[in-house]
Structure 1
Amino acid sequence: MSEKLRSKEYFDQRATREMGKHLHTKTRSLAETLASACRILAMTGQEAGLAGQISARSERENAYWTLRFGLGFDEATADDFIEVDQDLNTLSGEGMANPATRFHLWVYKARPDVNAIIHTHAPWASTLAAARQKLVVLHMDMTPFYNDCAFLADWPGVPIADQEGVIISAAIGSKRSILLAHHGYLTAGSSLQEATYLSVYLERAARMQIRAQAFGPLIPVPDHLAQEAHDYLLKPSIVNATFDYWSRQADAAIGQGARSM
């Protein structure tokens, strides 16, 4: 007699309970989490000179924390983050903000659910942006972006003024990521861990799409399966455990580099 097959919902709920029990996020300060995120972005090849940006919402209204201008992701430490107000005046720490982070404030104002923003000119995502191509969800690893990756078709220019913030915040809407034509991408997470997770996977998704195009038409994942995988892969326990793993990788790489000097 064949055994009755249990539903996927049963296994989903069981996995969620067990992840809650066994996966524990490492405790870090906000500055330490920002520094870890920067090391992960550097490790995954997402630096672009000083064009890369990272920020986290401050407890103060209309303010956020960001890497002081002049440093790259690969050299950021917990002491290198400053708090700035809506006019980019430095409130805490020493130094100035990247002038192009001004549009972050507009996203924070429009999205109370967003607590962290990452913007880079990562190579593969920038290639899609240069070609003005939207992301197509072709593979399980791309499903975190199913119905969750907006597209801005026209570049508003260097985002150092208010108008660019209005345009970008309207274009991303309620989604967690956006491809910016002729530019790069933006991820907006409920946490720094989520924004970083989305950043790494968006760059991988862009690479996969570009490579897949060489083999014929792009075939999207069926909608119902893409939505199911989207919700599963964005569980906070998975996001946070992945961030911790990448952080350990980045720290190990730094340690290896120091030992080889």
Structure 2
Amino acid sequence: MFAARERAARPTFTTPAEERRYRKQRLAAAFRLFGHFGFDEGVAGHITARDPEYTDHFWVNPFGMSFKQIRVGDLILVNSHGEVVEGSWPVNRAAFCIHSAVHDARPDVVAAAHSHSVYGKTLSALGVELLPLTQDACAFYEDHAVFADYTGVVLDTEEGRRIAEALGSRKAVILRNHGLLTVGRTVDEAAWWFITLERSCQVQVLAMAAGGYRLIEDKMAQVTSEQVGSEKMGWRSFQPLYDWIVSVQPELLDE
């Protein structure tokens, strides 16, 4: 009972070092979970966490390392020029172009997640928004966008700025013919929004294939969005997954 009460709210920190460690632990766990759920696709995909002290820097996965192997000590720190200032691995150029633009445009965002997950890619190929088909999908009701253009691999910072502009103040954007991107005020939140968005894309693709579905009415979708789509709910929903992945893969916390 006491432990449950403790977990009801996000932790607070007395030093940037404490908060940095927390963010990196959550980031490594998010990568392991993405690997577990099959969100990896070769060297594609990245999750970033803004550094709490050097706020124009972010932590990200090493380019070429499997999500399934990433530990806290493997994460690299990248500055606003795309230079690796901590760590021995290179940074994915696309990760820098996309995430630097998102973090710059959204000071409120601590973390951003992008991957080429199967159902996210499938829905992105249709160029449509996520529909309020289920309670879970309502987390994104009027809180996501579609980036309705595709110009190849994102290797230009200008393309990253266009993605950030499409995202706007929302929690997610569907990148046409590409995949999904989610953001949050914690790593926990950004990772959870990606996981549940991917699952909601799966439901929509299956419903469309079945040839018929019923939408949740706008008024009820809005009410449900307030219930399941809040920052607090995003953080809390990630906690069981974090506890589980750390229990079965404790080495991910190695520094």
Structure 1 length-normalised TM: 0.84
Confirm or deny: 8 A CA contact 1:124 1:204 kept in the other structure: yes
SS at match of 1:151: strand
**Where does residue 49 of structure 1 map in the other structure?**
42
User: 1:126 matched to which residue of 2?
Assistant: 121
* Corresponding residue number in structure 2 for 1:35: 28
Report whether the alignment pairs 1:188 with 2:183.
yes
CA distance in structure 2 between the aligned counterparts of 1:156 and 1:134, rounded to whole angstroms? 19
Residue 230 of structure 1: aligned partner: 225
Is the 1:43–1:250 contact (alpha carbons within 8 Å) kept by the matching residues of 2? no
The match for 2:201 among 206, 209, 220 is 206
Corresponding residue pairs, total: 237
- Superposed counterparts of 1:155-194, under 5 Å: 155-194=150-189
State the one-letter code of the partner of 2:45.
Answer: G
Q: Could you tell me how far apart the structure 2 residues matched to 1:237 and 1:142 are?
A: 17
Post-superposition CA distance 1:27-70 (Å, at most 9, x none): 96221111111112122221111101110112314211111111
Aligned AA (2:79): D
Q: Which has the larger radius of gyration?
A: 1
Distance 1:229 1:40 in 2: 26
Q: Which structure 1 residue ranges, 5 or more long, are not aligned?
A: 1-18, 256-261
- Give the counterpart of 2:133 among 135, 138, 146: 138
* Deviation (angstroms), 1:84: 0.8
SS at match of 2:128: coil
Question: How far is the alpha carbon of 1:21 from its aligned partner?
Answer: 6.8
Distance (Å, rounded) in 2 between the aligned partners of 1:214 and 1:140: 20
The range that moved more, 79-88 or 209-218, is 209-218
CA distance in 2, matches of 1:207, 1:235: 22
**What is the letter of the counterpart of residue 32 of structure 1?**
Q
Read off the aligned partner of 1:142 and give its amino acid letter. A
Give ranges in structure 2 of 5+ residues lacking alignment. 13-20, 251-255
Q: Which moved more, 1:162-171 or 1:231-240?
A: 231-240
Q: Write the deviation string for residues 65-105 of structure 1: whole angstroms up to 9, x where unpaired.
A: 11111112111100111111122111122222111112211
Alignment check: 8 A CA contact 2:24 2:49 kept: no
Structure 1 residue corresponding to 2:56, chosen from 51, 59, 62: 62
- 1:147 to partner: Cα distance: 0.5
Q: Residue deviations 1:139-170, cap 9 Å, x none? A: 10111110011001111321121121121011
Which residue in 1 is equivalent to 2:70? 76
Residues 115-160 of structure 1 show CA distances to partners (whole Å, capped at 9, x for unaligned) of 1000000001101112223211211011111001100111132112
In the TM superposition, what whole-angstrom CA distance separates every residue of 1:218-253 from its partner, at most 9, and x where no partner exists? Answer: 432112211222121134443333212112332445
Q: Find the aligned partners of 1:114 and 1:22 in 2 and give their Cα distance.
A: 22
Relative distance call for 1:238 and 1:172 in structure 2 (3 A) is closer
Q: Which residue of 2 aligns with 1:87?
A: 81
**Identical pairs, percent:** 31
Shift of 1:193: 0.8
> Which residue number corresponds to residue 16 of structure 1?
none
Secondary structure of the equivalent of 1:200? Answer: helix
Show the counterpart of 2:253: none
What is the aligned-residue RMSD (CA, Å)?
2.1
One-letter amino acid of the counterpart of residue 55, structure 1: T
CA distance in 2: counterparts of 1:139 and 1:99, whole angstroms: 36
Question: Aligned with 1:65: secondary structure?
Answer: strand
